[in-house]
Amino acid sequence: MKNTVLITGANSFIAKHIIPILSEKYQLKFLTRNPKLENEFQWDFENKTIDEKALDNVDYIIHLAYKGKIAHKDSRGNHGVIGEGDVQWMTAGAGILHQEYHEEEWSKQGGMFQMVQIWMNLPAKDRETPPHYQDVLYNDMTKVVLNDEVSYINIIAGEYNGQKGKATTYSPINMYNAYLQKGAIADFDFLNYYNTAILIIDGSVKVNGEEVLEKDSFAMFENEKGDTFSLEALSDNTLELVLSGEPLNEPIAHYGPFVMNTQEQLVKAFEEFKAGKFGTL
């Protein structure tokens, strides 16, 4: 009789490669957010509960759902740690020193690590805004559940279906994580002069019923031709990052870690950095 192995994070990159190997010698069970098969059991990630039947007669447990933790600290005294689905939102404003690094306990055990870093320029009128930091945690995000009642949109910033996200922005910005199960369709409607793009974090989707985008694809929509579109999940547990914002239409000057509007501002920023005006870490 085969021993039984319980696998969490069955849709992760590593799991997809080791499941065929394990299935030759072991009977497999899976923890998943949306169980559909006889050997799949409910994992309620938000409430930190699982279907206890998943543990019946289990000989081994393999945990593969962990995608890393990242810590932040800055010269304003802010500290934060985020995990899967969380967001660190920092406004550099008039100037700040900051560090992002693997969270200490997670770095000791290691595992899968995946993140996206996005830089957005401040409008020129807000360039001297005092720097500040904000954690936008998964469990605190505004969630819009879709028609299939299992897929949903987590609003990081901006607005979706009349619901608003919690991140503070200085120009109109919409940023969502779309968690879609197979067959689910999410509709998006942005102003057609906004810069709009999608990044496929996991799974595959069909855009407007036509073009298929696979994992790690990045697609931008052409301005002035309408930014109303739909995403249909072609697999379970898809995750898409949806970005849309109003162009600032201002000059950009950048060098190293600094993004300004003019070369003169860049020179001033370096002088202030060297003079210690951004503080210390």
Question: In the chain, what are the domain boundaries?
Answer: 4-63, 70-245
More confident residue, 105 or 253: 253
Query: Taking residues 258-276, what's their average pLDDT?
Result: 90
How confident is the model at residue 224, as a pLDDT? 80
Protein fold of 70-245: Jelly Rolls (2.60.120)
- Residue 71 has φ and ψ, to the nearest 5°, of -105, 155
Provide the total of helices (H) and of strands (E) in the chain, helices listed first: 3, 24
pLDDT interval class at 66 (50, 70, 90):
very low
Q: Which residue has the higher pLDDT, 7 or 1?
A: 7
Q: Which of 40-49, 109-118, 263-272 has the highest mean predicted lDDT (pLDDT)?
A: 263-272
DSSP letter at 267 equals H
- CA-based nearest residue to 177, from 61, 264, 84, 268: 84
Label residue 182 by pLDDT band (50, 70, 90).
very high
Confidence of residue 60 (pLDDT cuts 50, 70, 90): very low
Q: What confidence score (pLDDT) does residue 138 get?
A: 87
**Cross-strand partners of 258:** 255
**Joined tokens for residue 267:** 């020179």
**Cβ atoms 89, 80 nearer than 8 A:** no
* In the block, residue with structure tokens 């923890």: 31
Reply yes or no on whether the pLDDT at 188 is more than 90.
Answer: yes
Mean pLDDT over the full length of the chain? 84
Average pLDDT of the segment spanning 149-157 = 94
pLDDT of residue 11: 55
Q: 151 is written with which tokens?
A: 């897929």
Split at pLDDT 50, 70, 90, the class of 211 is very high
Distance CA 148, CA 138 (A): 21
Give exposure, 146-170, as e/b (b: 16+ Cβ within 10 Å).
Answer: beeeebbbbbbbbebeeeebbbebb
pLDDT of residue 198 exceeding 80, the answer is yes
Pick from 190, 187, 199: which is nearest to 224 by CA?
190
